[in-house]
Structure 1
Amino acid sequence: MNGYDISSVQSSLNPASVPSDFVGIKVTEGIGYINPTWETQVKQTLSAGKHLLLYHFITNDSVIEQASFFLNVAKNYANQAILALDFETGTIGNEIPYITLAHRVQAEVWLDYVSARTNGRPVIYMNAATAREFDWTSTASKYGLWLAQYASTEPTGYQSQPWRGNSSYGAWNRPTIYQYTSTGSLDNWDGELDLNLAYLSEDEWQEMAGVAGKSENNTNYTTSDLEDDELMKFTYQIIDAKTGKSQGTIYYYDGNKVVALSHQDQLKIVRQIYKDTTGKDLKQYSWRTDAPWYVRFMQAINQKAPEIAWK
C-alpha cells in the first residue's frame, strides 16, 4: 500500500486529489499544539475512501499528558485510523547516541496508554539509526515500526521495492511501514512529500486501525487514567520500632513483585523514569516493625520473600 504523510507544512494539500492508498496526518505535538488543518484533511481522506494514519509528535513534556492530549483531540477518528508516535531524537533534547532508557520507556508508555484506550495497535516512527543502535525489544514485542531511511535525495514517485539498506531493523524483523524518501513527487501537488510503503493487506490495516471493533467514543481522557497508578508501583522502607531508624534497604514494588534494591542508583533510575513518564513522584512508604504492614502486603501478593536486585 502506497501513502504519504503530511503536516501543517502541506496545509493546502487535498488528500482526495493526490494519489495514495493511505494518508498519514499529524494531529498534535507535545501537550498544546494542534495542526490547524488536520481534521479537514482527515475528512478529505476518508471521503475519498483512503486509509488513514494519525500521528503525534513527541516532546519532553509529560508523556501521559501527551497521550491524553492526542486522544482527546483525535478521539472521533481514533478507531478509524492507525495511530502512531513520531519519535525523533532532536525533539526530546538528545541526539544519538544520547537517547536514554527513560526516553525509550516514555515512548512505550505513550503506546501502551493509547493502545489500552482504543481498538487498534499503534506504531512508532523513528529513523534507522535509532532503531538499530538502541534496545527496543520490549516495544517491538507489542508494536510495529514505521521506519524512515532514505537512499538519496533525488525526486521520486512511489516505489514498490525501495532500497532498504542492510535490512537490519534492530529489535524488529521488518518495518510495518517504510518511509523511503522525503523528496517524493506526486500528481496534483507541487511540493515534496514523504513517501511510504505499508507492508499490510487491507485486512491487516483494518485490524491495526481497530475498525472491526469501532464504537462511538466520547470519552474525555485525563491523566488520572494512569496505568502506573493502577498497578500500584511504589517503594517502601522498614523502620525498626526500637531505634526509630530505617533498616537500610529500599524495596520496590513494580506492580507484580517486591524487589530489594541493592544500590542507591537503582532507586534513582526507578524514580527518574517514573517521574519522566507519569509526571508524578513515585510513592514512598515507611512501615514499622511493630505494625508490619510489609508482611501483610507480601501475604496479599502471595510472595514469600523479596527478590534481590543483582549488582
Structure 2
Amino acid sequence: MKWITNFLKAIAEFFSRKKPEPQIPQKPSEPVNQTPTVPAPEPKPKFKMHEFKKGQIGVDISHHNRRVDLELLAKNVDFIYMKATEGESFVSSKYVERAKKLKEMGTVAWGAYHYYRTNKGPAVQAEHFIKYVDVESGLPPVLDIEAINNNFKPHHRKDLQIFLNLVESKTKIRPIIYTGYYFAKDEFKPTEEFAKYKLWLPWYTSDFGRVKTPKPWDKITIWQYTEHGTIKGVDGNVDINRVV
C-alpha cells in the first residue's frame, strides 16, 4: 500500500503548486535626455610671437626711466623692450615689477634685453639673462653689445656666439642683436654667422635714408632713431624705435 500513499502524496504536491502570475508587459522607459558630447576645443598656444611690421613703433626702457605708466604707454606703442640684466649678476631694479604688470595686462608685446659685458663670462651672463626672459612675452630676447672703449678682442666674437647659442637653446627663440654701426664696423666686425640674427640698430636721425647697415647684415629690422623721444606714458626722454 506504500505506493498508493506515495502516489496520492505526489498528486497533492502537484495541485498545491502556486501557478505563476501572468507577466504584465512593461511600458518601455522614456529615453533620458542626455547632453550631446562636445569635443574638447583644441588647446590654444600659450603665446604668439609678435610679428614685426614696417612702421611699427616701440620703446625701450630701463631703470633710468623712473616714471612709466605702462597702461598708457601700451596704448601708444606696438611693442616695449625693457632692460632686464647686465653682466653676470645685475638686474634692472624696475624690470621684475614692470614685467609682471605687462604680463597681467596682456595688451602689448614686450621683451627683455641684456647689456653684455666683455669682461664677464658669456655662459654665466647667458644663464643669468635666461632666468628673467619670459618666453610668453611675445618678443625675442635681445643681446645688447655696444661700444667698449676699443677693448673688443677677436675672441669676444666667439663669446658672443656662446651667449647667443645658449639663449636660443634654452628659450627656443632666436635672439636679436642690438649694436651700433661704427662699433660693428670698427670693433665687433661680426662674421657671416651673425647675419642670421635680426639687427636692431641705433642711428639718431630723422632720415632713414642716411642710415647705414653694417656687414654682414643686408637689412635692419628695428631702427632706434632717437634717445630723446617723448611719448605718452613715459615721463621724460625715452628711446624710440621704428620697424623698417
- TM over 0.5: same fold? yes
Q: 2:234 aligns with which of 181, 189, 203?
A: 189
Please state whether the residue corresponding to 1:40 is helix, strand or coil.
helix
Counterpart for residue 57 of structure 2: 2
Q: 1:21 aligns with which of 78, 84, 104?
A: 78
Report the alpha carbon displacement of residue 119 of structure 1 after superposing the two structures with TM.
2.1
Counterpart for residue 143 of structure 1: 197
Please state whether the residue corresponding to 1:191 is helix, strand or coil.
coil
Counterpart for residue 142 of structure 2: 84
TM-score, structure 1 as length reference: 0.55
Q: Is the 8 A contact 1:83 1:123 kept in 2?
A: yes
Report the alpha carbon displacement of residue 21 of structure 1 after superposing the two structures with TM.
0.6
Counterpart for residue 170 of structure 2: 117
**Max Rg structure:** 2
Q: 1:67 aligns with which of 123, 126, 148?
A: 126
Report the alpha carbon displacement of residue 168 of structure 1 after superposing the two structures with TM.
3.0
Q: What is the CA–CA distance in structure 2 between the aligned matches of 1:188 and 1:70, rounded to whole Å?
A: 26
Structure 2 letter corresponding to 1:68: E
Q: Is the 8 A contact 1:2 1:198 kept in 2?
A: yes
Report the alpha carbon displacement of residue 176 of structure 1 after superposing the two structures with TM.
1.6
Please state whether the residue corresponding to 2:64 is helix, strand or coil.
helix
Q: 2:225 aligns with which of 145, 159, 180?
A: 180
Counterpart for residue 113 of structure 2: 55
Unaligned runs of 5+ in 1: 152-158, 200-311
Q: What is the CA–CA distance in structure 2 between the aligned matches of 1:142 and 1:122, rounded to whole Å?
A: 10
Q: What is the CA–CA distance in structure 2 between the aligned matches of 1:21 and 1:68, rounded to whole Å?
A: 28
Q: What is the CA–CA distance in structure 2 between the aligned matches of 1:180 and 1:68, rounded to whole Å?
A: 31
Report the alpha carbon displacement of residue 79 of structure 1 after superposing the two structures with TM.
4.1
Structure 2 letter corresponding to 1:23: I
Alpha-carbon displacement from aligned partner over 1:23-72 (angstroms, at most 9, x marks no partner)? 01011111111112112222333415111121011112111000001112
Q: Report the number of matched residues.
A: 183
1:33 pairs with 2:103: no
CA RMSD of aligned residues (A): 1.9
Report the alpha carbon displacement of residue 130 of structure 1 after superposing the two structures with TM.
1.8
Structure 2 letter corresponding to 1:140: F
Report the alpha carbon displacement of residue 132 of structure 1 after superposing the two structures with TM.
2.9
Alpha-carbon displacement from aligned partner over 1:275-301 (angstroms, at most 9, x marks no partner)? xxxxxxxxxxxxxxxxxxxxxxxxxxx
Counterpart for residue 238 of structure 1: none
Q: What is the CA–CA distance in structure 2 between the aligned matches of 1:150 and 1:69, rounded to whole Å?
A: 31
Q: Alpha carbons of 1:124 and 1:140: their partners in 2 closer, same or farther (altered >3 Å)?
A: same
Alpha-carbon displacement from aligned partner over 1:83-140 (angstroms, at most 9, x marks no partner)? 00110122xxxx24x5221122222211111011112110111111123335313343
Name the structure where strand makes up a greater proportion of residues.
Answer: 1
Q: Is the 8 A contact 2:83 2:95 kept in 1?
A: yes
Counterpart for residue 157 of structure 2: 104
Please state whether the residue corresponding to 1:10 is helix, strand or coil.
coil
Q: What is the CA–CA distance in structure 2 between the aligned matches of 1:84 and 1:128, rounded to whole Å?
A: 17
Structure 2 letter corresponding to 1:111: L
Q: Alpha carbons of 1:147 and 1:58: their partners in 2 closer, same or farther (altered >3 Å)?
A: same
| Larger RCO of the pair (alpha carbons < 8 Å, separation 6+) | 2
- Give the share of equivalent positions with the same residue, in percent: 27
Report the alpha carbon displacement of residue 6 of structure 1 after superposing the two structures with TM.
0.6
Counterpart for residue 49 of structure 2: none
Report the alpha carbon displacement of residue 166 of structure 1 after superposing the two structures with TM.
4.8
Alpha-carbon displacement from aligned partner over 1:240-290 (angstroms, at most 9, x marks no partner)? xxxxxxxxxxxxxxxxxxxxxxxxxxxxxxxxxxxxxxxxxxxxxxxxxxx
